[in-house]
């Protein structure tokens, strides 16, 4: 019986992915993130109810699968609360649209972190078992290799990305935030755990435990952090003290462009529309 319940759960997850994919395609047909942004600017956020409701269902599905259920419940409650509250003309003395967008962005960032952790955990959990089972059952090698990728695509990360893009556009954000201004040039590398000992480097990293700037001594000239970071955070303050150019980027398209420059000689200029450019 337990196996039947498991198979039922897997079937529901597959069906959830199918419905979510159809919804995303329909959303793109009517304008996607740009249309949501235009509706928010006209103070009409009823068109956001469908995407937010779909994201709630997707997050709840993750929780029912056993992935951080408390966090999934908390995010779901926030999404329902912001959906019910809607957009006010004013929030105290502040513009209601800006407060609504910032509030929603915080929850969407939280949702994206959750789905990214899920995506990163899956390849660590299943590859060896999947390979063993695939060989034992005679499943084609290509199908075995793409198993984890399919599971990851079945998440809600695409919907999070679309909604975050719409929210950033509503706020007038370009996806960049400058913590320490300046200009420099050097070889762009991805930093993993500790800095490589390379002179005149610029680096980018996905997460920031806190001691990255000083770990490389005088080798590091600039940092691009692929997530949002408060200006008065420990890392931001240390970067200023060390006079290391520091920007954050949370736009997926710009992040992909940065990663294409890995290993190349680039110029890092915070006054540019795109702070990292190939020389």
Question: Which is the catalytic residue, given 185, 231, 234, 268?
Answer: 234
Nearest to 206 by CA among 171, 249, 169, 154: 249
Is 185 a known active-site residue? no
Cα separations (Å) of 35 from 22, 44, 51, 96, 112? 18, 11, 12, 19, 21
Cα separations (Å) of 86 from 49, 76, 104? 9, 16, 10
Q: Do residues 225 and 202 touch, judged by C-beta distance below 8 A?
A: no
Helix (H), strand (E) at residue 16: helix 2-29
Query: Which residue reads 């513009």 in tokens?
Result: 95
- What's the rounded Cα separation, in Å, for the pair 194 and 64? 36
Residues assigned a catalytic role: 234
């Amino acid at each position: 019986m337990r196996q039947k319940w498991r198979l039922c759960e897997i079937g529901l997850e597959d069906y959830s992915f199918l419905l979510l994919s159809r919804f995303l395609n329909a959303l793109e047909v009517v304008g996607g993130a740009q249309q949501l942004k235009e509706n928010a600017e006209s103070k009409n956020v009823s068109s956001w109810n469908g995407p937010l409701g779909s994201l709630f269902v997707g997050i709840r599905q993750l929780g029912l699968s056993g992935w951080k259920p408390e966090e999934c419940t908390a995010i779901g409650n926030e999404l329902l609360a912001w959906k019910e509250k809607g957009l006010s003309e004013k929030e105290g003395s502040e513009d209601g649209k800006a407060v609504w967008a910032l509030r929603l962005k915080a929850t969407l960032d939280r949702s994206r972190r959750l789905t990214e952790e899920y995506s990163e955990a899956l390849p660590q959990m299943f590859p060896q078992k999947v390979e063993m089972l695939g060989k034992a059952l005679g499943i084609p090698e290509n199908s075995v290799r793409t198993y984890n990728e399919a599971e990851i695509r079945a998440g809600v990360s695409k919907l999070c990305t679309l909604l975050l893009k719409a929210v950033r556009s509503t706020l007038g954000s370009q996806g960049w935030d400058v913590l320490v201004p300046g200009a420099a040039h050097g070889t762009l590398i991805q930093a993993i755990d500790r800095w490589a000992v390379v002179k005149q480097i610029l680096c980018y990293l996905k997460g920031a435990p806190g001691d990255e700037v000083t770990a490389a001594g005088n080798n590091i000239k600039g940092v691009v952090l692929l997530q949002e970071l408060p200006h008065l955070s420990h890392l931001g303050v240390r970067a200023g003290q060390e006079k290391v150019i520091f920007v954050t980027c949370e736009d997926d398209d710009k992040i992909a462009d940065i990663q294409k420059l890995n290993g190349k000689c680039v110029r890092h200029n915070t006054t540019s529309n795109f702070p990292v450019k190939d020389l």
